[in-house]
Amino acid sequence: MEEENSNLFLRVYERLHDYYGEQGWWPGETPLEVMVGAVLTQNTNWGNVEKAIGNLKDRGCLSFEALRELDQDLLAEYIRPSGYYNVKAKRLKNLLQMIEDEYEGELAFFFEDSLESSRENLLRVKGVGPETADSILLYAAQKPVFVIDTYTHRVFSRHQLVEEDTDYFSLQQEFMDSLPSDVKLFNEFHALIVSVAKEFCKKKKPRCSDCPLQRVEEK
DNA sequence: CACCAGGCAAGTA
DNA sequence: TACTTGCATGGT
């Protein structure tokens, strides 16, 4: 049973990898940029996030020190294109404050901390939920955590590969129990799921007939 | 025009 | 515990 499931999930990965090839996520030049992007992309189109990050770069504010010194209302103005700019400015400040408090303001210390400890610290930050925390851990800190998002849930439940009403933690456990714990695999797999969801598994008009995952559940 | 996008916290019953 | 609502821009 567990073995069958493992093969199934890996088969999904292989199908997607064959279809799309390497994804090379996360789009971001530095771990800090990845962290900021993880917060800004909450329920938000990535294109808008790029504009917001572009603003921060233009202002020379895309560093830990610069962001710490930046006034919250000004930060909100810079990240305006990404939407929810007031709450997100606060959330970014909360995140920076946590690193200040727990890691002496050293990003490197945070990235070097254990998976368990850094995850707990992230989840204590107001505005950082499980997906944002795990995105930071996987894509910025390079820790082996599988990131679950709405696309993951939609694609896998549409294909009846997981229960419809499973929660974040249960779904994550299924992936991590079924797959070898490998940063590169988790990174690529999640990125591939986003790609296939965007192309074939839209909320309103899915194009199931051309989807590379059709009949993946058959041996 | 309506709907959607790589969530999360806070409020209500 | 299990819904509901606010947050907000920009693309289709």
Residue A108: CB atoms within 10 A of its CB come to 9
Domains and CATH numbers, chain A: 2-24+146-210 (1.10.1670.10), 31-140 (1.10.340.30)
CA A76 → CA A36, A41, A86, A178, distances in Å?
13, 14, 5, 41
Residues whose CB is less than 8 angstroms from the CB of residue A56 and which lie 6 or more positions away in sequence, other chains included:
A36, A62, A67, A78, A79
pLDDT tens, A173-218?
Answer: 999 999 999 999 999 999 999 999 999 999 988 999 999 999 998 7
Q: Are A149 and A131 in contact (CB under 8 A)?
A: yes
Distance A108 CA to C4 C1' (A): 40
**pLDDT exceeds cutoff 70 at A31:** yes
Determine the angle formed by the axes of helices A183-200 and A2-20, rounding to 10 degrees. 70
Residues 57-96 of A with CB under 7 A from strand C: 80-81, 83-88
Rounded percentage of chain A residues whose pLDDT exceeds 90: 91
Nucleotides of B under 7 A from a protein CB: 3-10
**Nucleotide closest to A86 measured between CA and C1':** C7
Cβ proximity of A5 and A163 under 8 Å: no
**Is residue A219's pLDDT more than 80?**
no
CA-to-C1' distance for A33 and C3, Å? 35
Neighbouring residues of A2: CB distance < 8 A, sequence distance ≥ 6: A177, A178
Residue A104 CA to C6 C1' — how many Å?
Answer: 34
**What is the reported pTM?**
0.95
- Mean pLDDT across the stretch A130-134? 98
Distance A204 CA to B4 C1' (A): 9
Q: What is the pLDDT of residue A25?
A: 86
pLDDT at A11 over 90: yes
> For the segment A103-123, what is each residue's pLDDT rounded down to a tens digit?
999 999 999 999 999 999 999
- pLDDT tens per residue, range A54-73: 999 999 999 999 999 999 99
Residues 6 or more apart whose Cβ sits within 8 Å of residue A43: A83, A84
CA of A46 to C1' of C8 (A): 15
Residue A170: both structure tokens together:
């249960």
Taking all residues of chain A, what is their mean pLDDT, rounded to a whole number? Answer: 95
